[in-house]
Structure 1
Amino acid sequence: MRRVAGTIAGLAIATALSTLVVSMPASAQSTLNDSLAKRTQGNKDSKLLLEAKELVYDNDRNTVTARGDVEMNYQGRTLQADSVVYDRTSGRVLAQGNARLTEADGTVATGDRFELTEDFKSGFIDSLRVQQTVVERGRPVTTRFSAPRAERIEGETTVFERGTYTACEPCAKDPTRPPLWQVKAARVIHNNTERTIYYENATLEFAGVPVAYVPYFWSPDPTVKRKTGLLAPTYIASSALGVGAAIPVFIALAPNYDLTLRPTFLSRQGFLGQAEWRHRLETGSYSIRAAGIFQADPQAFQPSPFGAREKDFRGSIESVGRFHLNERWQFGWNLTLLSDKWFLQNYQIRNRSLTDLYGREAISTVYLTGQGDRSWFDLRSYYFKPLTSSDWQKHQAVVHPVWDYEKRVNGPAPIGGEVKLEVNLTSLSREATHFQEIPTQRARLFGIYDTCAVFSRETCIVRGLGGSSTRLSTQVSWRRSFIDPAGQVWTPFTYARADGFWIAPNTTDYQNYGIMGIAGQTDQDFTGRFMPGAGVEYRFPLVASAGSWGTQLVEPIVQVIARPGETRVGRLPNEDAQSLVFDDTNLFAWDKFSGYDRVEGGVRTNYGLQYTLNGPSGFHVNALFGQSIQLAGRNSFESGDILNVGRDSGLDDRRSDYVGRVLLQPWAGVSFQTRARLDKDNLALNRFEAAFQGTFGSLTTRFVYARYAAQPLLGLDDRREGVAVQSKLDVTPNWYLSGAVTVDLDHYRRNSATPISPLGQRDPTVSAFALGAGYRDECTTLEVTYSSTPRQFSGAKENVQTVLLRLELRTLGQASVTQNIGGVASADGVAP
């Protein structure tokens, strides 16, 4: 079959090649392009490219007709059809039969019949279907418009009469079925310049069933990432706030900054105002968010120190920023200022700085970081704001600042190896010393804060010293590995560390009485500490073939470190070395303390045996078992400091407990890992953790079990044991079920009215539970979740039961509803 291609300026060639083409005078060869040039202000560069099987020029009707797989390209637009007729007199283009118009941005419009102007910008279309694909959140999203008849205006606006809009794919088995959701309207107007879709007399349908009617609304089209308008509302219902709704308003002031207003109307408390400003600059971005309310009914909250009943105005200010000073340096902040510790929780305001790791608190920080090829710099300050009634602000430290620097260089010839410099500066202060009674808690300050009735080193540990303290630590280390002809790996190392402490205790506040016996001074004082060390680590990796099982590796490891004993144990603050967990991860650490305030001393050997098997199809096994032995000198872990760190750790005897791990991965996607600390005398489990995770077809699950022996010398009076399970089941490609449960196997039954009463019997209980179901496809997300989580209040634990419903119609918007059920009598800060 012959095919003719070329510009209209080459119509003479097309005439010669086609037997069905009426002869055409030379003056008519550029008919279309001349006509288009006149209509485009003489722009002769706007050439029309035409491809067709047959081209006919009709002098009588003054028309040009192209038939058979017609394709016309003009100014980035492509028109395809079975036949196209150009009427030179009216300047109209009529396309019929499988008509298809593709815009420069990829938008595709199909219809039975197109009647357009010659530049394809305006006209009428019968049975129009428009398909547009954009990338949203990293995934392509295709939207679809359709209408029996539509009008195209200047290539910028399309008016769909009795139009429909949806982001859902048509049913593959039955395309005539209605999509999951669609919007039907008397008129759908898509303005490409404004990138906005307007709906008049619109109805929202689910599976063809009308569920909502709106006389008029508009939404940004899918290409818009940010546009001024209303966001999805959220609904609030609680005993303290009443019922209400937040209706956010997003204002795109410029491409690089915007403002979001979130007015919230509450039936019991009145108007809650929230505003967020976001600004992106060339080197970074920052945001500021503020919230505030003049409470109509403060009696809904508890009185001080349990709540904020005395406050009429409550609010918060938050700011987050991050800037790249250059390719290596960054500066930023994350700040939170609150009127009271209960505000965010009472008014259900999410905060980026919140953490629940060791207790609910907001962490404010300002930082400067730098990264070199072999160096690292981090300087930051912290302010901790506790958000539960059982935490006292005077116990919280203000860090001003903490500075870490690390630099690695090659060792000088001829010793070679690697030399590392580490520097840490920590300066902080707090108003009141934080005492904790051991082994049981019997006294509370104001009835809510943990403390000691009478200070004694035997019955009281110190979580933090009142006053200020500054420590500067510097460590230089060297190490190098040698491999002898037998394959044995020898790694000698040496290091030297110097610490300087500046301590200024606060002895004026009655809460700081007894501090003199801890720090050893009553006024500002300086003291120092020096710790050199040297050692060697020996490894002998033995590799053997396991036949069809793969390759196995057996590796004995021995490490010996010599250094003098630690000095001034218990006479110095301990702020950053309060956590000590002895397990396989730090068995061969030069210093097993977690921070700089403590330093390990004495002569010690660490030994272990590691086994690895790598098999086919992703099969993998790794196991390690070992022990640590104090050979000579003072055992730092036997000498507890002001927090008793080191005691009950498994390292406080000459021979430590045994530690080990086993990792089993039978195939890709399934793994089992366990680690344990076994008593050195009877192999009793002092610490045990096991985790399993895997995917089995449509089921994904994770199981975690943990058991920790009591450590009364550290204030952990009870054995802790629990199980946590998370699972997700894909019932169909779109529907899924999810669930999670946490079981406290050693929960002790206490008198909830008097939370400091003696222990009762063990009462295994479900401490947290969640169950959910959801649907997700290319256009819709629907989630329903029920959760029951513990809420800590003045030592008594009660569960908060919440139902969350979230519906998202992609490209159209989302809405969510959260509702507490069952009632919580002792919600933190809320009056019963």
Structure 2
Amino acid sequence: MFRSDLPITRYLLALLCLLMGGAADAELKLKVSPLLQDRLTAQQRAAAPSFVEGQRMESEIGIGLLAEDDVEFRRADLVLRAQKLEYDQATDTAHARGSVRVNQSGNVFEGDTLDLRVDAFEGSFTNARFYLLSADAHGDAERIDFLDDTRSVVQNATFTTCRREGGPDWVPAWFLRATTLHLDSEEGVAEAEDTTVRFQNVPVLGLPAMTFPLSGERRSGMLSPVYGADNVSGTEITVPYYLNIAPNRDATLYPTWMSERGVNYGGEFRYLEPGYSGLLRVDYMPDDKLRDMDREGYYFQHRAGVSGAYGSLGLNLNISRVSDDNYWRDFPRASNSLTQRLLPADVSVNWGQGPYSATARVLRYQTLQVSDAPIVPPYDRQQLTARYAEPNFGGFDFSLDGDYTQFTVDELALTSQSTANRVNADRTVWRGALSYPIRGAAGFVIPKASIHATSYQFEQALDLSSYSGSLNGLSADASSATRTVPTYSLDAGLVFEREASYFGSAYRQTLEPRLFYTRTPFVEQGYLPNYDSAAQDFSLTSIYSENTFMGNDRIADNNLLTVGVSTRLFDAERGAEILHLGVAQRLRFEDQRVTLPGGTASPEGLSDLLLGAELNIDPRWHVDSAVQWNDRLGESERSTFSMRYNPSPYRVVNLAYRFQRAQSETSEDSELINLGWQWPINDLWRDWGEDLGPGRGQGAGRWYSVGRLNYSQTDHKLVDTTMGFEYDAGCWLGRFVFERLQTGLTTANQRIMFQLELVGFGRVGVDPLQTLQKNIPRYQLLREQTTSPSRFSNYE
């Protein structure tokens, strides 16, 4: 044995030689090796070198050592500090006394005495305090028993995520007290026995046992109850249970008790495989007191795909069904797929290989009819499509499409307003197109020719006795019809560029004129039923299209020239687009004669003028607007304007204005103003907060205002409303939100949501987060763990 007051470097050398069997070439340089990963095994830890510092040290080669005064012991991901350390090399056991502090992979433990087997990380701590990195939580304990480097048992413990402040009498805003607390950092979960949760030092929850997460890892167990109240269902209590079936499968059961209606039994199952994925959601409510009947709804989505020598094959299913026509009104917060009035059962199989592709599809709708707002049900369809497309065949682009569809209508979904001209049919469509694109750096020219051939076979003969147009040789009770329509077009454009300077900044500006001419001769089509055609949205994109209708039942006769020009402004340094302005107008040389049923033909002459502008001054601002101007009337037919201001995280304002003039004498103008926001109220007294990074808010003690207002200028009233406040106290969050959803001309669903979130522990109350995320674009959660913290983020 030897004893010395040599410098620290010599102590390090002596200890290293002792632990490594006296190797003369021992490496003294401290470095990050492949062993130092976020989780080390006991074997990796045992193979790592050890380092010790202290004011006094005694050691015996092969036996152990004694270090005193400001002792520091390091091995791999373990740092141990104490006033006195006895290390037994034979048992790999450390006995530490006096201000003991252990940092193990970022988790910190402090106390009076520690006995620890270092590599296995087995031992005990008395009168201890702990800090858990993954949960950013801490607490006190009478005793901590380490089972290994990921599991421990804490006796008479407290647990909180509130930052420690003040002296020994400080009480956190919330904390959990348990007689026994089992911590498992590998599973990311804590199990507590004989627990009490206190908020503002008032007991709010007491349970004989409970489980809660220490990280974002999934685990089976009861989730926090969700409470609610509205004017339709009364008081609501949902008690969800989560099942972590496998890493790629899970399920959630969410029975909900409604004081005015009964109990809704709901569940959701999700799965994800390399070749397929899907989701199934089912709700069942026996004997709903609101309607005096059983209610149910389900939603199933499945996606699958496989690739091989014979191409790629895909399967898509999207099926929604509910029990009755009022489901969308009475369950406004069900999944979006169940709150629509047209519920699809859509099944398709897709195949593709090279230029060939094909699809088989079956689509059935459930139409939810209500007496005060009936809708026209769409046709169900069974469809086969095939396509051959060769994008560059000797400089030509060629495509050929075939489409065979059976159209049927659900007689039960028809109303007195939708029975006219409803006839089932089989329709066959062939579309061929040939173009020769010529593209260059300064512009493009694309001549194109296409043909559209259609044949119909009707289930019952058409009644055309009152039709005033030409029947193309058909009888007044025809049971079949054919139609062939050719189309010719020429699309040409140029791109000019120049260097420009505005307001002292350098830009690159473009000028892009474009001409588009299309010619489609008139072919009588008014006698044909309309199965899937609709008017295209008149925009700066669709104005350069050959057909003003979508679908295959109406091909517009056109002899028109579209003239347009756009200019774009790019930042000379960053290359970002700052400004985009566009204007376009059609010159029709002949009156359009083909229309949709009940539609109005476009007259000869100039069309409405389209103007569009998009502005991105900097990443904080985005402005987008479009105007459809009727020069004959001297007024706008349609106008849209949207603006977003997003200067920093948790600060966003969205403003949108939409105006649509009535298209017929029986309809009304539509004018809507939409305002949504998330903004710190503390800004009013110039408390700007701080950027703590994604998902961490902007500091404790801050209020946020959140909301969305949808106002109808036509009706002079708010249609949908969401307004509320959020408070960030650092270790807990409070949310208070009011929501009003319009469910009919004179009916609305209203509810108040209040939620208390104990950060890192759980949420209690009515959850408004889904409502806020759906209604406020760019809304950000005040607490959202984006990445798991590394042990190096708490490195010593």
Conserved 8 A contact 1:230-1:248: yes
Distance 1:431 1:189, change over 3 A: closer
Deviation at 1:108, TM superposition (A): 4.1
SS in 2 for 1:251: strand
CA shift for structure 1 position 430: 0.5
> Which residue of 329, 348, 364 maps to 1:383?
364
1:726-741 map, 5 Å: 726-732=676-682, 733=698, 734-741=702-709
Whether the 8 Å contact between 1:395 and 1:432 is mirrored in structure 2 is: no
Over 3 Å counting, the alpha-carbon distance change for 1:100 and 1:574 in structure 2 is farther
Deviates more, 1:589-598 or 1:765-774: 589-598
Structure 2 CA distance for partners of 1:373 and 1:665, relative to 1, 3 Å: farther
Distance 1:569 1:493, change over 3 A: same
Q: Does 1:553 align with 2:534?
A: no
2:605 is paired with a residue whose SS is: coil
**1:241-640 correspondence to structure 2 within 5 Å:** 241=233, 243-295=235-287, 297=289, 300-301=290-291, 309=292, 311=293, 313-326=294-307, 329-343=313-327, 345-347=329-331, 350-354=334-338, 360-369=341-350, 379-387=360-368, 389-390=370-371, 395-401=377-383, 403=385, 405=387, 407-412=389-394, 416=395, 418-432=397-411, 450=417, 465-482=422-439, 489-505=443-459, 522=477, 524-539=479-494, 541=496, 543=498, 545-546=500-501, 548-549=504-505, 550-565=507-522, 567-615=523-571, 620-632=578-590, 635-636=591-592, 638-640=593-595
Q: Deviations over 1:414-463 (max 9, x none)?
A: xx25444555554431135999xxxxxxxxx5xxx6458xx7xxxxxx6x
Partner of 2:749: 800
SS of the aligned residue for 2:528 comes to: coil
Distance 2:27 2:391 in 1: 77
Code of the residue aligned with 1:116 in structure 2: it is L
Give the superposition deviation at 1:594: 2.8
Instruction: Summarize the Cα distance change of 1:87–1:364 in structure 2 as closer, same or farther, 3 Å threshold.
Output: same
Per the alignment, residue 772 of structure 1 pairs with 724
Judged with a 3 Å threshold, the aligned counterparts in structure 2 of structure 1 residues 116 and 536 are, in CA distance, closer, same or farther, namely closer
CA RMSD of aligned residues (A): 4.2
What amino acid is aligned across from residue 122 of structure 2 in structure 1?
S
Using the alignment, how far apart are the partners of 1:176 and 1:662 within structure 2? 61
Change (3 A) 1:66 1:643: farther
Structure 1 residue 703 corresponds to structure 2 residue 655: yes
Match of residue 140 from structure 2: 146
Distance 1:373 1:350 in 2: 41
CA contact (8 A) 2:723 2:737 kept: yes
Cα distance in 1 for residues equivalent to 2:465 and 2:706:
52
Counterpart of 1:678 (choices 607, 629, 638) is 629
Deviates more, 1:727-736 or 1:4-13: 4-13
The aligned amino acid for 2:713 is L
Is 1:164 the counterpart of 2:115? The answer is no
Which residue of the partner structure matches residue 221 of structure 2?
A: 229
Q: Distance in 2 between matches of 1:323 and 1:404?
A: 20
Partner-residue secondary structure (3-state), 1:587 = helix
Report if aligned partners of 2:100, 2:110 keep a CA contact under 8 Å in 1. Answer: yes
Are 1:84 and 2:85 matched, yes or no? yes
Aligned partners of 1:813, 1:45: CA distance in 2, in Å?
35
Please give the alpha-carbon distance, in whole angstroms, between the structure 2 residues aligned to 1:339 and 1:66.
76
Give the drift of 1:259: 4.3
Cα separation, partners in 2 of 1:164 and 1:404, compared to 1, 3 Å: farther
Read off the aligned partner of 1:725 and give its amino acid letter: L
SS of 2:16's partner is strand
Q: Does 2:198 correspond to 1:205?
A: yes
1:171-190 to structure 2, matched below 5 A, reads 178-190=171-183
CA shift in 2, pair 1:122/1:321, >3 Å: same
Q: Distance in 2 between matches of 1:560 and 1:678?
A: 21
- Whichever residue aligns with residue 701 of structure 1, its letter is V
Which AA in structure 2 matches 1:124?
A: S
- What do residues 514-545 of structure 1 show as CA deviations (whole Å, max 9, x unaligned)? 89959976564242323231424243635353
**CA deviation string 1:223-278 (max 9, x = no partner):** 46332321222335466655453322333444444443333444454443334344
1:605 is displaced (CA, Å) by: 0.9
Change beyond 3 A, Cα 1:801–1:291: closer
Q: Distance in 2 between matches of 1:610 and 1:630?
A: 21
Aligned CA distance change for structure 1 residues 77 and 582 (closer, same or farther; 3 Å): same
Matched, 1:669 2:620: yes
> How has the CA–CA distance of structure 1 residues 614 and 525 changed in structure 2, closer, same or farther, with 3 Å as cutoff?
same
In structure 1, C-alpha distance between the alignment counterparts of 2:26 and 2:185, rounded to whole Å: 42
Give deviations 1:314-349, integer Å, cap 9, x for gaps: 323332222232395432312223222334643566
CA distance in 2, matches of 1:740, 1:239: 20
Deviation at 1:480, TM superposition (A): 1.4
5+ long unaligned stretches in structure 2: 1-7, 29-41, 683-697, 769-796
The amino acid that maps onto 1:291 is: D
Whether the 8 Å CA contact 1:7–1:50 is kept in 2: the answer is: no
The residue number in structure 1 matching 2:33 is: none
Q: Does the CA contact (< 8 Å) of 1:66 and 1:83 recur in 2?
A: yes
For residue 16 of structure 2, what is the aligned residue in structure 1? 6
Question: Which residue of the partner structure matches residue 641 of structure 2?
Answer: 690
Alignment match, 2:125: 125
**Structure 1 counterpart of 2:117, which letter?**
T
Seen in structure 2, the aligned counterparts of structure 1 residues 369 and 80 have a Cα distance that, compared at 3 Å, is farther
What is the rounded CA distance, in whole Å, between the counterparts of 1:781 and 1:191 in structure 2?
26
Equivalent residue number for residue 31 of structure 2: none
Query: 3-state DSSP class of the match of 1:771?
Result: strand
1:326 counterpart SS class:
strand
Mapped partners of 2:197, 2:24: distance in 1: 52
Q: CA deviation at 1:770?
A: 2.1
Partner of 1:723: 673
Q: Which amino acid aligns with 2:195?
A: A
The answer to whether the Cα contact below 8 Å between 1:472 and 1:501 also exists between their aligned partners in 2 is yes
Per-residue CA deviation, residues 337-367 of structure 1 (Å, 9 max, x unaligned), is 32223346435662352465xxx33333223
Does the C-alpha gap of structure 1 residues 202 and 560 become closer, same or farther in structure 2, counting only changes over 3 Å?
same
Cα distance, 1:491 vs structure 2 = 0.4
**CA distance 1:657–1:261, change in 2 (3 Å):** closer
Distance 2:148 2:631 in 1: 85
Q: Does structure 2 retain, via aligned residues, the 8 Å contact 1:722–1:744?
A: yes
For 2:89 and 2:430, locate their aligned partners in 1 and report how far apart those are by CA, in whole Å: 87
Aligned residues, how many? Answer: 711
Residue in 2 aligned with 1:30?
none
Deviation at 1:475, TM superposition (A): 2.9
| Pairing 1:773-792 to 2, within 5 Å after superposition | 773-776=725-728, 780-792=732-744
Deviation at 1:725, TM superposition (A): 1.6
Which residue of 576, 591, 597 corresponds with 1:642? Answer: 597
**Which ranges of structure 1 fall in alignment gaps of 5 or more residues?**
19-39, 135-140, 302-308, 436-444, 456-461, 748-763, 820-832
2:192 partner letter: Y
Q: 1:200 to 1:516 in 2, by over 3 A?
A: farther
SS at match of 2:541: helix
Distance 1:381 1:730 in 2: 50
Partner of residue 743, structure 1: 711
Distance in 1 of aligned mates of 2:273 and 2:92 = 49
Q: Determine helix, strand or coil for the equivalent of 1:6.
A: helix
2-side partners of 1:772 and 1:495: how far apart?
A: 57
